[in-house]
Amino acid sequence: MDCTGSMGPHINAAKSIILEVAEYMENMKPSVKIRLGFCGYRDHNNGADRLQRFPFTDSYVHFRKDLSNVTARSGQDRDTPEDVLGGLNEAITQMSWSGEFRFMFHIGDNPPHGRRYSNLDDNYPDGEPHGLTAESVLREMESKRIFYFFGKVTNNTDKMIDIFHSIIGEFPVHDLPATVNPEELVKKLFEATCSTIETAISLKE
């Protein structure tokens, strides 16, 4: 999840639905035991706060406690793109993926750095400064058999979605606009999260 300042409502919504999602899935798919993990990203000027990762756990109470430590904050650089590729790469390569069903639900309101993804004000117009590309990150995700889902907050990510589609094919995109009221956002995120899990399982059955 993008954890920059604009994403506060979505972070709060995620915190509020975890136990409800766990209960729903236990009732719907009691034979499936779900482990949850989290990787948040900000931008390169955030230093040590650029990436925030919590390992997979089957304790939903523990996971919600982890999420309580996640806050929305931005750095000093006021460009629009964020370290999307760094966040995805961190989640893919630095978390202990296991089990038959593996899925990543990515929620963000802005694209990666680089003119390839947008014409927005960008401090790194030539792309991700550490050399990551969408191709390298998403191919690694495919090699680990991880299904990708996206929660779209704004139209700023439309070109990113198209590029991702061109690399890994179609994937579900859920509309999670920040313009809705908090209660509606919680409802939308709950429905999208449950749908993501159910779809990932059905794709493997």
pLDDT tens string 167-178: 999 999 999 998
Please indicate, yes or no, whether the overall pTM of this predicted structure exceeds 0.85.
yes
Residue ranges, the chain, pLDDT below 70: 204-205
Q: What is the 3-state secondary structure (H, E, C) of 112-161?
A: CCCCCCCCCCCCCCCCCCCCCCHHHHHHHHHHCCCEEEEEECCHHHHHHH
Tokens linked to 95: 């978390």
Number of independent structural domains in the chain: 1
Q: How far apart are CA 7 and CA 156, in angstroms?
A: 14
Which residue range forms the structural domain that includes residue 136? 5-204
DSSP 3-state of 101: coil
DSSP 3-state of 10: helix
pLDDT at 138: 98
pLDDT at 101: 87
pLDDT at 203: 74
Residues paired with residue 38 on neighbouring β-strands, in sequence order: 54
Q: What is the CATH number of the domain that holds 56?
A: 3.40.50.410
DSSP 3-state of 174: strand
CA neighbor of 110 nearest in space, from 141, 81, 76: 81
Q: How far apart are CA 25 and CA 157, in angstroms?
A: 29
pLDDT at 205: 61
